[in-house]
Amino acid sequence: MTGEHPALALRGLAKRFDGTIAVAGVDLDVPAGSFYGLLGPNGAGKTTTLSMAVGLLRPDAGSAWVLGQDVWRDPVAAKRLLGVMPDGVRLFDRLTGAELLAYHGLLRGMDPAVVDQRAAELLDVLALGDAGRTLVVDYSAGMKKKIGLACALLHGPRVLVLDEPFEAVDPVSAALIRDILTRYAAGGGTVIFSSHVMEVVERLCSHVAILAQGTIKRVGTIADVRGGRSLEQVFVEVVGGRTATGDELSWLSR
């Protein structure tokens, strides 16, 4: 159907806040069916880029397409194809997990019976059923990530955009999230997620892009980008972090 279009295409996306350039012209093509990792140090512009790509933040320049639908010209069509989990965004956290899922499902125009069935399954698989009537605000960090993922998955989106899905998540929950994402990608969905955890990206992704200072520094399949080295080595080299300290912090050791 939309096979000829990339799942997500960004052209010249740029954004500045109060005179500081957050994103300086990002071009990116995410092939349909890929598992795409967006790597970058803190403050590189990952969240800003993804927010502009999904219609949460209006770019100063550039465009974004989801499976050929222009996100900023025809937001409704594009948003229908998208499932989004923004980072650091509070959910409507004074609802219980089940209520939150029902809200998201109905908001997406789904049939109530389907919402009920999928919500029950998701809560069960993500081991959130035990939480019962606990409000999401009282969930632990890992549980919040899981319910956020469930909300993004509920309507069966074609493209899943996740901002820092593995941040502050314990290993058990992380493994569960990984399994679900792998299964979703194997079923033909496209996953784009941002992270600065190299191991996860190396294990999961088919493609990566390294973002630093608001521009894409490296992009391609994971094998291309690595070029025989470890991803971490490439990352540190690209970002230009310092690897050794000299005498500066001598007071830290006796």
Which position among 61, 89, 168, 186 is part of the footprint of another protein (CB under 8 A)?
89
- Give Cβ neighbours of residue 113 (< 8 Å, ≥ 6 apart): none
Cβ closest to another protein, residue 120 vs residue 172? 120
Residues forming beta bridges with residue 24, ordered by sequence position: 14
Cβ closest to another protein, residue 4 vs residue 20? 20
The burial of 31, by beta-carbon neighbours within 10 Å (0-12 exposed, 13-18 middle, 19 or more buried), is given as: middle
- Give Cβ neighbours of residue 222 (< 8 Å, ≥ 6 apart): 37, 201, 202, 205, 206, 207, 208, 231
Which position among 2, 60, 73, 106 is part of the footprint of another protein (CB under 8 A)?
106
Edge-to-edge strand order for the sheet containing 35-39? 82-85, 159-163, 190-195, 35-39, 207-212, 215-221
Token digits of residue 201: 């990206």
Residue 4 φ/ψ, nearest 5 degrees: -75, -15
> Mask 46-85, x = binds another protein (CB under 8 A)?
--------xxxxx----------------xx--xx-x-x-
8-state DSSP, 233: H
Token digits of residue 73: 């010209």
In the region spanning residues 135 to 154, those forming contacts with another protein, defined by CB under 8 A, are 135, 138, 140, 151
Least Å from the CB of residue 67 to another protein: 15
Cβ closest to another protein, residue 19 vs residue 171? 19
The verdict on 247 binding another protein (CB under 8 A) reads: no
The verdict on 200 binding another protein (CB under 8 A) reads: no
Site residues, another protein (CB under 8 A) = 18-19, 54-58, 75-76, 79-80, 82, 84, 86, 88-96, 98-99, 101-109, 112, 115-117, 119-120, 123, 130-135, 138, 140, 151, 251-254
